[in-house]
Amino acid sequence: MDALTIFGLFAVTAMLVCYALEDRSPWFVLAFAAACGLGSAYGFLQGAWPFGLVEAIWAGVAARRWMRMRRVRDDTATPG
């Protein structure tokens, strides 16, 4: 196994773990977004640009979901 394959394995494993734990904390949603970013980098480095592009989109979707979750949590935490 070369370094790029190990990097890809790490990225996809991190995505799986973070996705499975998303209900526990919004921070796992952010970690999922970061892992998708790593998966995107892996796709582009490997030469599979469609995979890299889709993972970049997933990273954006997850980051937006994390921001929305934080906004909702902040709105419910403030009195009034």
Domain boundaries, the chain: 3-77
pLDDT over threshold 80, residue 79: no
Q: What pTM was estimated for this model as a whole?
A: 0.87
Q: How far apart are CA 29 and CA 18, in angstroms?
A: 7
What's the pLDDT band for 70 if we cut at 50, 70, 90? confident
Give the Cα separation of 11 and 17 in Å (integer). Answer: 10
pLDDT more than 70, % of the chain: 90
Local confidence band at 20 (pLDDT 50, 70, 90 cut-offs): very high
pLDDT at 54 over 60: yes
